Every structure is written in C-alpha cells, then in structure tokens.
Structure 1
Amino acid sequence: MYTLAVCAEMVFRDRPVPERAERIHEAGFEVEIWGWTRHDLDALARTPAHFSSMTGYIRGTLTDEDGAAELLRTAEQSVRAAEQLSCPRLNLHGTGLDDKGLPVVPVAGEADGPNWIAAHRTLTRIAELGESAGVVFTLENLNTAVDHPGVPFARAADTLALVAAVDRPGLRMNLDLYHAQIGEGNLIELVRRAHGLGLIGEIQIADVPGRCEPGTGEISYPAIARVLADLGYDGTVAMEAWASGDDDLALERFRSAFTL
C-alpha cells in the first residue's frame, strides 16, 4: 500500500515548523516541507519525523542557459540539505516561483519547440544529479487558472510528457491531483496512465475548490484511493492542503479518504 504524508507548510500554522513536523509524525504521517532555506534544518533533523519530500531548488528555470545553470547549482545545494533530513525526493516546477507561487519568469501561451528541447536537456542533467546522489527529483504539474498563472509546462500532460521523454530513474512526476482537477480533470484516467508508464514519483492531493482536505470539495478521493490500491501503487500520497477548520480533523479526514 501507499504511504501517507502531510505538508507541514499548510497545517498547524500557529506553531513553529519543527513542532508541526512532530505533530504530523505523532499522527502517523510522513512530513513534507517546501523551500528548505526558510527552515532550521538542524531543528527539523532533531525531530522524530520522517521527511518524504522537499523543494529541490532555490532559483532557476528549465529553458534559458543562465536559468538552467542556476537551477543545477541550487539543486546541488538542495541535495546536501536533503541528506541532512534523509529526504528521498526533491520537487521541481516548470520555472522558479516567488513567495506567492507566481513564476519569476512568466510565459505567455504554450512553450514552443526550442523551449521543450531546452527543458529536456536541463531535466536530463537534473536526473543525472539525482542518480549520482541517490535521490529522485520530481517535476510537479501546476494549475495556471487559479494558483500559478504564467508557469510553463504546467499541465499534467506536459509534465508527464517531459518526464517520459527524459526517461531516467532520477526524474519522476509529482502528480498533483488538485492542480490537475482545475486544469484538466479526468483524474482516474490520468492516474492510470501515469502509473502505467511507471513515472509517478509521488501523488499530492487537496480538494477543489479551496485547496483544503478531502471531503470539502468535489473530488471523490475514496474512489481514487481504490484505483491506487487496484493498481498496486506503493508510493507516497501527500496532503498538500489547508485545513478547512481544525487541523487534527483535517488530517483524520485525509486518513479516512485513503483508508480502504
């Protein structure tokens, strides 16, 4: 069966992040964080939490030469930070995001052919870095309608295509079903396709609308849980969602939705 994790950035927000990690661990979940430069890694490492994912870069882009060099440089720094937390996965996006989730270098419309070729080249180098370091980088799909306008390669179909084209064990897809529901829908078939290709490094979830825990919106996460079980998915399912009310109740609703 899959493992359940919770993003510490989005729950227990009245507490310091190390305390959030401990609470999540005590509830029986693994822990995810975003940008590691904002956190006290020594304090996090002293907690009993098992960290399953963190942001895998500080700055950079996939498509221009200088941005790609910066992405690789800060990805190397992120690998060293991940070692401190024994964190096996490092997450990437189509371009660097600011503190509001907006692209540092936005694009208008769809990425063209040269940008796809450049992204493939950059991600191949990222995959090689992951393989040499014994970690997996994951490329996350995002939505551009609500949260991340102007991000290139944002759709799940595009993210999956890039990961498939690179075809290296050091790069997998972070299949975010919240973003996919807003951008594309048809979640069960998307899960089946990505799993069938062997390209899922992790699955993230939140309900739509609102980006809160399962049961607060339109997505039938128990149905998705049954599909994952039928497929034999044994990776991580992470709740990257705001608590709609009580944080402990949000975690229990997540657990209930994915308990068969």
Structure 2
Amino acid sequence: MYTLAVCAEMVFRDLPVEERVLRIHDAGFEAEIWDWSRHDLAALARTPAVISSMTGYLRGTLTDPEGAAELLRTAEESVRAAERIGCRRLNLHGTGLDAEGLPVAPVTGEAPGPLWPAAVRTLDRIAALGESAGVVFTLENLNTAVDHPGVPFARAADTLALVAAVGRPGLRMNLDLYHAQIGEGNLIELVRRAHGLGLIGEIQVADVPGRREPGTGEINYPAVARALTELGYEGTVAMEAWASADSELALERFRTAFTPA
C-alpha cells in the first residue's frame, strides 16, 4: 500500500511551518516542504513528523555549465539540510523557479535538441550525489499553460524521458498528476507507463481547476487510487494542493479519495 503525505506549504497557512507539519503528522500523514532555507530546520527536527520530501536545490539550471554548477552546489547544500531533518527525497525542476513559479531560464516551445544531452549530463551528476548521500532526487513535471510558463522539460513525457536516459537509482520521477492533467491528460495510462518502467519516486496530486484538494474538480482520483492499488504501487502519494476552505477538511477529502473501497 502506498503512503500518504501532505505539502505543509499549502495547508494550515496561518501557522508556523513546524506547527503545520505537526498537524499533518497528527492526522496520520507524512509532511513535505519546499525551500528548506526559509524554515527553521532545528524546529522541524524536533517534531515527530516524517518529512518525506523537500526541494533539492536553491538555484541553478540543467543545461548551461554555470547554471549546472550552481545547481549541483546548492543540491549539495540541500543534502546536508535534508540530513538534519531526516528527509530522504529531494525534488528538482527543469530549471530554477523564481518566487512566482516562473523559470529563471525560460524557453519558448520545445526545449532545443542540444539541451537534452546537457540536461542528462547534469542529472547524472545529481543522481551520483544522491547515491553517495543515500537520498533520491526526483524530477517533477510541471504545466506551462497555467502555473509555470516557459519551464523547459516540463511535460511528464519529458521528465520521464530524462529520468530514463539517466537510468540511475539516485534519480526518479516526481509524477505530478495536477500538472499532467493540464498538460497531457490520460493520467491512469501515464501512471501505468511510469510505474512499469520503475521510474516513479513519488506521485503528487491536486485537482483541476484551481489546484485544490481531490474532490473539488474534474479528476477522478478514486479511479487513480484503484489503479495504483492494482499496480501494487508502494511509494508516496502526496497532496500538493491549496485547501479550498478548511485545511482539516482538505486532508480528509484527500484521505477519502486515496482510501480504496
């Protein structure tokens, strides 16, 4: 059976993050955070909560030499931070994102062909770092139509291809079904394909439109949950969604959607 987690950045937002992860823990979920440099790691470490994922870099890009060096350097910082809070999974994107979620190195349309081998080389170095540190880096697909215009390697098909090309246990895919629904759809088949390749490090969920908790939009998450159960998926499913109203209710809606009948 898969494990359920909740992103602490998006629920109980009137509380300090260490109190958010405690609320999430008390409700029976693991917790996730974004940029660790904005949080009190010592306070997080004192909570009994399991921090199952956090952002695995602070700055950088996948394709140009200077940006790749910065990505690797801040990934090394992130590994040390992860050790302090016992986090074993660190998340990446196709390029660094600013405070608005916009890419620091945007592209128009498809990423040009020469960028792909450069991205694979950078991700291979990241995977080696993960393996030496005993953690897994995950590469997340994003959508460019609503939330992250201009991000390279954004589609689930792109991130899956990059992770497959690297082919190392230190790098897996963070399959975000909210972003995939906006960009590609056909979610259950996408899950089956990625799971069949053994490349899923985590699955993240939110509903469409609005990026709210499951049950508030168009995605049939109970059907996704049944497919995951049939596949024997044993990883993490994390709600990375804004609470539509009450955070406690959002957590319960998430639990209900991913508790097979």
Q: TM-score range by the shorter chain?
A: over 0.9
Where in structure 2 are the equivalents of 1:120-131 lying within 5 Å?
120-131=120-131
> What is the deviation of 1:187?
0.1
The residue identity in structure 2 corresponding to 1:109 is G
2:223 is paired with a residue whose SS is helix
CA distance in 2, matches of 1:107, 1:45: 38
The residue identity in structure 1 corresponding to 2:32 is E
2:52 is paired with a residue whose SS is strand
Q: Which residue in 2 is equivalent to 1:182? A: 182
User: For each residue in 1:115-160, what CA deviation from the matched residue of structure 2 results, as whole angstroms up to 9, or x when unmatched?
Assistant: 0010000000000000000000000000000000000000000000
1:80 is paired with a residue whose SS is helix
Q: Which residue in 1 is equivalent to 2:102? A: 102
Q: Which residue in 1 is equivalent to 2:161? A: 161
**Alignment identity in percent?**
83
Q: Which residue in 2 is equivalent to 1:137? A: 137
The residue identity in structure 1 corresponding to 2:145 is A
Q: Which residue in 2 is equivalent to 1:58? A: 58
The residue identity in structure 1 corresponding to 2:48 is P
The residue identity in structure 1 corresponding to 2:130 is G
CA distance in 1, matches of 2:110, 2:257: 35
1:113 is paired with a residue whose SS is coil
CA distance in 1, matches of 2:2, 2:103: 32
The residue identity in structure 1 corresponding to 2:183 is G
Gaps of 5+ in 1: none
> What is the deviation of 1:108?
1.3
The residue identity in structure 2 corresponding to 1:13 is R
CA distance in 1, matches of 2:18, 2:111: 39
The residue identity in structure 1 corresponding to 2:258 is F
> What is the deviation of 1:91?
0.1
Where in structure 2 are the equivalents of 1:140-219 lying within 5 Å?
140-219=140-219
CA distance in 2, matches of 1:87, 1:22: 15
TM-score normalised by L of structure 2: 0.99
> What is the deviation of 1:104?
1.1
> What is the deviation of 1:106?
1.0
Task: Write out the 4+ residue segments of structure 1 that deviate beyond 4 Å after TM superposition.
Answer: none
User: Over aligned residues, Cα RMSD in angstroms?
Assistant: 0.4
Q: Which residue in 2 is equivalent to 1:256? A: 256
Single out whichever of 99-108 and 182-191 deviates more from structure 2. Answer: 99-108
The residue identity in structure 2 corresponding to 1:16 is P
Q: Which residue in 1 is equivalent to 2:74? A: 74
2:129 is paired with a residue whose SS is helix
The residue identity in structure 1 corresponding to 2:226 is R
How many equivalent residue pairs? 260
CA distance in 2, matches of 1:107, 1:37: 27
2:10 is paired with a residue whose SS is coil
1:251 is paired with a residue whose SS is helix
The residue identity in structure 1 corresponding to 2:112 is D
User: For each residue in 1:165-217, what CA deviation from the matched residue of structure 2 results, as whole angstroms up to 9, or x when unmatched?
Assistant: 00000000000000000000000000000000000000000000000001100
2:114 is paired with a residue whose SS is helix
CA distance in 2, matches of 1:208, 1:163: 26
